[in-house]
Amino acid sequence: MSMKKLSVIAFGGNALLKSGQKGTIDEQEQNVFETCQHLVPLIKEGHDIVIGHGNGPQVGNVLLQHEAGFRVYDLPKQPIDFCVAETQGSIGFMIEQQLRNVMAEHGIRRNIVTLVTQVIVDKGDEAFKKPTKPVGPFYSKEESEQLVKENEWIFHEDPGKRGWRRVVASPRPLDIPNWPAVARLAKEGTIVVTVGGGGIPAYIDDNGKMVGIDAVIDKDLASSLLATKIGADEFCVLTDVPNVFINFHQPGEKRLGKVSLQEIKKHLADKQFAEGSMAPKVLACIRFLENGGKDAIITVAEQLGQPDAGTIILP
């Protein structure tokens, strides 16, 4: 058993798909390859690594494919949990393949495995009354209104003014049934790709059966819970900005470097971070540290492994 540093790294959506891209396999593979290049310093240092990832654009696209298949060919539409499972498999395969390519380039030999992972939520979670999690592409106001009529979907305007996006319930992750397997594999030195897209949402019914549910779990909160369960030393959230800011895009904008848990909690309480973008990332880091984690980092992939990279939150 290795006594090395165990790191859980949550890939942001832009690790897979950059804004303005169509989402072709070539684009996604290139993006993943570039992101995986930034893991090399950690792998060379001998870190044990678990990778979580988002699936926001991809799961939205899969839902649209089901929609189109239903309209054109009368194929049955599948629910969100099924679509999350599809994207876990497809994105996991891309990460695994491209990370193998990166390691081959650097002469590194490590096993990598992708686990399709369910995550347990509470069916009575308040989130089901108030959907907030964006999925799928951006639409114009007119397109979104048409889709509301057709599907009874709920849309919110993007805070960055990029258009309107469908929102779905994002319940709090409570348990990850296969976490012991993830822990064992990771501590044996296998790189594990898991809790993709926040995990496949399921709940335990009154008879003790696992049942899928229409929701998307926040991938940072799910990765944070996993990091806690497996006793990770560090939790790293990769996003598209190198640091967390307060007064973002406003007068008095300030970049956060090293911050204490108390300070970041105060900023979160003061509503400094946008819901649906930075707030869940910060909350995920807070939960990890409150449950015994040593440090949490929010940054861009390029800065991984650099000692002063990004916003570092200390307990």
pLDDT tens digits, one per residue of 243-289: 999 999 899 999 999 999 999 999 999 999 988 789 999 999 999 99
Q: Are 49 and 190 in contact (CB under 8 A)?
A: no
Measured distance CA(141)–CA(127) in Å, rounded: 24
Nearest residue to 15 via CA among 72, 92, 89, 69 = 92
pLDDT higher than 70, residue 2: no
Q: Are 98 and 32 in contact (CB under 8 A)?
A: yes
Portion of the chain with pLDDT greater than 90, in percent: 80
Evaluate whether residue 308 is within a structural domain: yes
Q: Are 135 and 81 in contact (CB under 8 A)?
A: no
Measured distance CA(288)–CA(165) in Å, rounded: 29
> SS3 of 307, please?
coil
Evaluate whether residue 163 is within a structural domain: no
pLDDT at 81 (0 to 100): 96
Evaluate whether residue 161 is within a structural domain: no
Evaluate whether residue 147 is within a structural domain: no
Which residues does 213 contact at the CB level (< 8 Å), separation at least 6?
A: 81, 121, 123, 171, 201, 202, 203
> SS3 of 260, please?
strand
Evaluate whether residue 260 is within a structural domain: yes
Token pair of 223 as six digits: 């990765």
Evaluate whether residue 119 is within a structural domain: yes
Nearest residue to 116 via CA among 150, 82, 144, 88 = 88
Domain extent for 219: 6-132+169-314
- Please count the other Cβ atoms lying within 10 Å of the Cβ belonging to residue 257: 12
* Phi, psi (rounded to 5 degrees) for 269: -65, -30
Evaluate whether residue 56 is within a structural domain: yes
Nearest residue to 48 via CA among 9, 96, 4, 90 = 4
As annotated, the active-site residues are 13-14, 133, 219, 281
> pLDDT tens-digit profile of 142-173?
999 998 998 888 999 988 788 999 899 999 99
Evaluate whether residue 153 is within a structural domain: no
Measured distance CA(45)–CA(50) in Å, rounded: 15
What CATH number is associated with residue 294? 3.40.1160.10
Measured distance CA(42)–CA(289) in Å, rounded: 21
> pLDDT tens-digit profile of 196-236?
999 999 999 999 999 999 999 999 999 999 999 999 999 99
Q: Based on the structure, what is the number of domains in the chain?
A: 1
